[in-house]
Copies of this chain bind each other. A is one copy, B any other.
Amino acid sequence: MKEKLELLKLLADETRLDILNLLLKEDSYVEKIACELSLTPATICYHLKKMEAAGIVNCSRSQFYIIYSLNREIFEKPLLELIKKDKVIIDTEEKYKKEVISNFFKYGRLTQIPTQRKKREIVLSEILKQFDFDRMYDEKEVNEIILHYHDDFCTIRREMIAFGMMSRNYEKYKRIK
């Protein structure tokens, strides 16, 4: 993954693109490229070394010169492959939660309160994140926050208490899980 970002960074520079375009036509060497691009050999060397380390170009000595050539395979991939993150292995529990959340929320709103207890707990936990641990809320506040996600704040508020996520004392609510 990290390499993909590195590759993109290397390609996102005008000078390096110029160099690659020269190498696209024919293999070449530091001084020649420097001359053609009106830059110093030190600069060209700097770029070529970077690209070599990333496997974009290869080099080999020939007489006085060190001839650089393109590693053309790299450029055949479609762009999508370069931006797509490799899947990370998440443990299945975590994955299931994400799945449920993604199914029941749309544009940040809860589309429906799940009937299955397990799923309901996941969805409620998600809303619960909006509450801080170390303060008290009065009912009006609780309702307003929940309203952000769903119109039926009564059911959700009640269920949160049923699941032991919230406690209620003297009309005041507090997050406890």
Contact = CB atoms under 8 A, between A and B. Distances in A.
Interface of A: 4-5, 8-9, 11-12, 14, 17-18, 20-21, 24, 26, 29, 31-32, 62-63, 65, 67, 74-80, 82-85, 102, 107-108
B107 A65 contact: yes
B17 A83 contact: yes
Given A5-B12, A8-B8, A14-B5, A74 B79 contact: yes
Given A32-B108, A77-B79, 6 more contacts: A8-B8, A8-B12, A17-B85, A63-B107, A65-B108, A74-B79
Copies of this chain, how many?
2
Nearest to A105: B32
B29 A83 contact: no
A11 B108 contact: no
B79 A83 contact: no
A76 B79 contact: yes
Nearest to A74: B79
